[in-house]
Structure 1
Amino acid sequence: MNAKLCTLALLAVLMSFTQAKEPKMKKIFNGKNLKGWVIPENNIWWAAEDGVLTAKSGPEQKGSILWTKKQYTDFIVQAEFKMGEGTVDSGIFLRAENQQIQIGISGSLKRDMTASPYIPGKGYPVEADNVKNLLKKDGWNSMKVKAEANKYTVWLNGEEVMNYTSEDAIEEGPIGLQLHPGREMAIEFREIMVAEI
């Protein structure tokens, strides 16, 4: 076999190995209902219609968390989100309520902290980069979060913006979407997918 054929064969093997390593994303929101999620009691906050999951505060502004029924260890979760009315304070919980990637305005800092980790007792230990330039206030945004052991990486609209190693991470738990209490707000999610790694 000549050198050119050997090189092509090696490239083919390397490409197949690389593709095999790519995690397969699976939809965890079917766009029609809340199948696969733990529906809160007396749910008035979460609704699914036409491929969109809407979270909207109720009259008492109690807030709510929508958890997956499934538990995850290492994973990548990605979703598109769009800010709705009011002061949006939302986020994605990673295996527990004390490990959150923020979406929208921080209640404590009174400014947008999208893509930054919020850890109770530590606040925001790091701030995501370049969010001001990347975030679309009136359109759909994509967020991808990789949770591998206690290391979190976040991409916003295709750009890597945050890395953080959490001392308080737990090994396994569900993924949650937050509707913050004490806020008059709405947020929409679509194309919610997960890959286990």
Structure 2
Amino acid sequence: MKYFLLLCTTFFFFSSPASAQEFKSLFNGEDLSGWNVHGTEKWYVEDGELVCESGPDREYGYLSTEENYKNFVLELDFKQESNGNSGVFIRSSLEGTKISGWQVEVAPPGSHTGGIYESYGRGWLIQPSPEEEKAALKPDDWNHMTIRVEGDEVTSWLNGRQMVHLKDEKIGEATGSIALQIHSATPENEVKVRWKNIRIKVLD
């Protein structure tokens, strides 16, 4: 009987799903290892958090993963300080600061956080309803975003609430890096966003 219980316990241990173990951290909380900086905007680590902040040129800037990802679930937390206009690019490629790909918006209230925008292409593909965005987004506080990309489908959630779901053939054909964006700014309205708990589960 003891041997049988031991076998059952061992089988349960190795066969039970452990979702936390399926995720891999993309940010180590110490430096920018695994990432590439594009542009003159500031990307740095402070108190274990990743910070993006307008630089001297106040132009668009990006922080992209060294690895490419096709099908995945991405989770992260963000907090908007100052003007929090930013975004998370999927299946993207960069030449300098010109990016090709699709952005899941991160922006101040009323600016379609969670919607999907095609850079240098068709523009907005889908936006959450104003009511959904207002109910989900927490200005000046930490927000949890989840993005699932599989085949030609993209779904975004904000603080547990689904923002959008999109099926798009062009997205389905692409692959590329994940990139965080900092939006261009003015001297009177500079951008600053904090990020943490950036992790990915590959679905391939």
TM-score (structure 1 length as normaliser): 0.81
1:60 equivalent among 57, 60, 63: 57
**Following the alignment from structure 1 to structure 2, what is the Cα–Cα distance between the partners of residues 177 and 44?**
12
Letter in 1 for 2:198: I
**Does the 8 Å contact 2:80/2:140 carry over to 1?**
yes
1:135 match: 137
1:149 equivalent among 134, 148, 151: 151
**Does the 8 Å contact 1:149/1:171 carry over to 2?**
no
Q: Does 1:190 align with 2:196?
A: yes
Instruction: Please list the CA deviations of residues 134-173 of structure 1 after superposition, one character each: whole Å capped at 9, or x if unmatched.
Output: 1100100000000112210111101222101123224321
Alpha carbons of structure 1 residues 167 and 140: separation in structure 2 relative to 1, 3 Å: same
Coordinate RMSD, CA, aligned: 2.4
1:5 match: none
**Following the alignment from structure 2 to structure 1, what is the Cα–Cα distance between the partners of residues 160 and 201?**
17
2:77 equivalent among 75, 80, 93: 80
**Does the 8 Å contact 1:39/1:66 carry over to 2?**
yes
Moved over 3 A (4+): 20-23
- Residue 39 of structure 1 and its aligned partner are, at CA, apart by 2.9
2:91 equivalent among 95, 102, 124: 95
**Following the alignment from structure 2 to structure 1, what is the Cα–Cα distance between the partners of residues 81 and 27?**
19
2:168 match: 166
Q: Does 1:179 align with 2:182?
A: yes
- SS in structure 2 at match of 1:61: coil
2:116 match: 117
**Does the 8 Å contact 1:23/1:196 carry over to 2?**
no
Instruction: Please list the CA deviations of residues 99-129 of structure 1 after superposition, one character each: whole Å capped at 9, or x if unmatched.
Output: 11000059xxxx4210000124432222224
**Following the alignment from structure 1 to structure 2, what is the Cα–Cα distance between the partners of residues 168 and 69?**
23
- Residue 40 of structure 1 and its aligned partner are, at CA, apart by 3.5
- SS in structure 1 at match of 2:135: helix
Unaligned runs of 5+ in 1: 1-8
**Following the alignment from structure 1 to structure 2, what is the Cα–Cα distance between the partners of residues 44 and 182?**
10
1:3 match: none
- SS in structure 2 at match of 1:124: strand
**Does the 8 Å contact 2:62/2:180 carry over to 1?**
yes
- Residue 23 of structure 1 and its aligned partner are, at CA, apart by 7.9
**Does the 8 Å contact 1:37/1:68 carry over to 2?**
yes
TM-score (structure 2 length as normaliser): 0.78
**Following the alignment from structure 1 to structure 2, what is the Cα–Cα distance between the partners of residues 191 and 20?**
18
**Does the 8 Å contact 2:105/2:112 carry over to 1?**
yes
- Residue 63 of structure 1 and its aligned partner are, at CA, apart by 2.1
How many correspondences in the alignment? 178
